[in-house]
Amino acid sequence: MATVSNDVFFASIAELTTRLRAKEFSSVELTRAFCDRLEHIGPRYNALALSLQEHAIRRAHAADEELKRGRYRALQGIPFGVKDLIAVKGHPTTWGAKPFAGQVFDADARVVEKLDKSGAILIGKLAMIELAGGGYKTAGASMTGPCLNPWDRARWAGGSSSGSAAATSAGLVTFALGTETNGSIVTPSAFCGVTGLRPTYGLVSRHGVMAASWTMDKVGPLCRSAEDCGLVLQAIAGGDPQDPGSAGKGFSYAPQFARKPQDLTVGYAPVDFEEWVDAAARPAFKTALEAVKSMGVRLKEIELPDFPYAAVAETISRGDRVSIFEDLIRSGKVDQLADKAQITWLKESLNLTACEYLKAQRIRSLIQDAFRSLFIDVDLILAPGRIDVAPRISDPIDAGSTRNPEPKSPGIHGRLVAAGNLAGLPSISLPCGFAGNLPVGISFVGRPWYENQVIGLGRMFQTQTDWHRRRPPVA
Amino acid sequence: MLATTAAIPVVAAPQAATSDPASPAREQFEKNTHQMAQVKVPIATEPPLHFKA
């Protein structure tokens, strides 16, 4: 029996694939090593919702049989986890919330089916903010407790795809799936130092995935690199008649066909990097900006169209969530949630009027038009993923984004997440350095269906930097 | 003679105004409504909701 060395836990998909095909270790050996690590270390970070070791070992035996016969699938034998709002047949899917602790579905979510067909091996379900958020104010808004950051256990991993980011960062899975309604992939990716991809709305099926907002939810990967994001996205993308939001499009990862950096104009706001980011993080962001410039792209100073993005996103989110969870709220079971602010937010959302909701959606149409115009002038938008490092577990999660003195302009960082989600735009979050011992990241946002360009630029950034290869101090 | 205890009027300590736990959410929602009211939406603008017959 081959020994699986510790370096596999931080290896890329391509590296693991090469070693599996070279029979350096079997899929069963690799899977068992990852499962043991996930079960052993995952609870230290409150990152694990459910281990699926038995299920995984069965799959790994099948993968080994295929490898013996020379049948190679795209993600054959690669261990992964999913946020616990993605259904896995016959196993609990809790949505991170006590009222749904015993919930079991009788079918896999479409993305689980697709990854299974691609040969990847699901080893566990990962912790999340209860109901994927909505007005929560504390890191403890989860049935599994606050998810701790592998870089510093006194800090939060971010949300709502908390366990997906923490487990990837700590080398407990090779990649994980998360979801984003309004920042839930890009935020924990930035806080935990992993590469996260939010796909264009409608590219990845949400069939079998908890709905938080019908018109804003996206499923996407959190990985070790932009390259891995491309490989996973290729496996999970595609039309699905069972997802009403599906655009019916597929995705082929082909970075070789992306436009050259010299042909790209990237919009950004210098004030974000010079004044808004946390003082301790400024050297890292300055270096990151230099690395982007050295790739040859044209940087162009931009302003975002003037809209109340956060207000519009929150109003749409309220309207959708209050309808989705109406029974939970009216039955009083909502009081079993862990976060008081989230409980109040949901209850008060019953008072949202149709007029307000539709006003928000109509403003959203204007936002989409405005971004179409913006993307005539620039090909991509660059901003800090978050301007602050991960907050302490004991602090309110929305504290700390004020600056004294106030910068001369608002920049774009504070509005780009809501704007990008409202317009359904793809985004990649890339680790770009540290402030003290905590990772920080930048984000590229592209026009719809521009994933190859967004991933391609991320891939190029990662050929010039090694921040994505740094490992947290996991025992 | 039993000593009588003079009834000393108990002065209630000033209480903090009853805080309504729903207030922060309501205030945030009002702020949202106010911000959205500033946006002029052309009458022909439809919400991006999809229905397939």
Complex ipTM, two decimals? 0.90
Whether B28 and A314 lie within 8 Å, measured CB to CB: yes
pLDDT at residue A475, as a whole number: 63
pLDDT at residue A402, as a whole number: 75
Which residues in chain B have their CB less than 8 angstroms from residue A310's CB? Answer: 32
State pLDDT tens for residues A245-271.
Answer: 999 999 999 988 889 999 999 999 999
Q: What is the rounded distance in angstroms from the CA atom of residue A418 to the CA atom of residue A439? A: 22
- Chain A residue closest to B28 (CA)? A311
- Inter-chain contacts counted by CB atoms under 8 A, chains A and B: 71
Whether A359 and B36 lie within 8 Å, measured CB to CB: yes
pLDDT at residue A404, as a whole number: 79
Q: What is the rounded distance in angstroms from the CA atom of residue A286 to the CA atom of residue A282? A: 6
**Residue A398 β-bridge partners:** none
pLDDT at residue A1, as a whole number: 57
User: What pTM was computed for the model?
Assistant: 0.95
Alpha carbon separation from A52 to A143, A223, A224, A272 (Å, rounded)? 18, 20, 22, 42
Whether A315 and B21 lie within 8 Å, measured CB to CB: no
**Residue A209 β-bridge partners:** A86
Alpha carbon separation from A181 to A216, A361, A374, A421, A435 (Å, rounded)? 5, 15, 22, 7, 27
Greater pLDDT, A14 or B15: A14
* H or E, element range at A406: none
Selected residue of A217, A320, A348 to mutate for chain B interface (largest B Cβ count, 10 A)? A348
State pLDDT tens for residues A100-149.
Answer: 999 999 999 999 999 999 999 999 999 999 999 999 999 999 999 999 99
Q: Kindly list the domain boundaries of chain A, sorted by start residue.
A: 1-475
Residues 6+ away with beta carbon under 8 Å from B23: none
Whether A362 and B45 lie within 8 Å, measured CB to CB: yes
pLDDT at residue B8, as a whole number: 44
pLDDT band at B6 (very low <50, low <70, confident <90, very high): very low
Spell out the CATH class of A1-475: alpha beta
Q: pLDDT below 50 — which residues of chain A?
A: none
**Residue A346 β-bridge partners:** none
pLDDT at residue A398, as a whole number: 76
Catalytic residue ranges of A: 83, 160, 184
Which residues in chain A have their CB less than 8 angstroms from residue B22's CB? Answer: 344, 347-348
Query: Is residue B13 scored above 70 in pLDDT?
Result: no
- Chain B residue closest to A347 (CA)? B22
- Chain A residue closest to B32 (CA)? A311
